[in-house]
Amino acid sequence: MAAIQPIQSILNSWVLDGQALVGSVGALAFVGAFLWRIVAVEPRSALQARQWIHRIVVGTIGVELAGTLVRVLTASVSGH
């Protein structure tokens, strides 16, 4: 089981780095889309901004779920 520990450590590090990157980019994109929605003159443009906000939120949740799944899977492997 000691052989799995380095791999588990690398995976956890990558997951945390990925979540931080997606969180930072996602926050910036969310603010940009929100501002776009506020200043949009055309209803179609406001609708597109709203769709982008939805995509950003769903993508961020997906990254969090993927990180949780990686932790669960690596914990189950090291538990055997």
* 1 band by pLDDT with thresholds 50, 70 and 90: low
Question: Of 35-39, 47-51, 59-63, 76-80, which gets the smallest average pLDDT?
Answer: 76-80
How far is it, in rounded angstroms, from Cα 16 to Cα 80?
24
How far is it, in rounded angstroms, from Cα 74 to Cα 46?
42
Closest by alpha carbon to 61, among 23, 4, 35?
23
CA 61 from centre of chain: 6
| pTM metric for this prediction | 0.67
Asked if 55 contacts 32 with a C-beta cutoff of 8 angstroms, the reply is no
pLDDT (tens digit, 9 = 90+) per residue, 6-57? Answer: 887 888 888 888 888 888 888 888 898 888 888 888 889 888 988 999 998 8
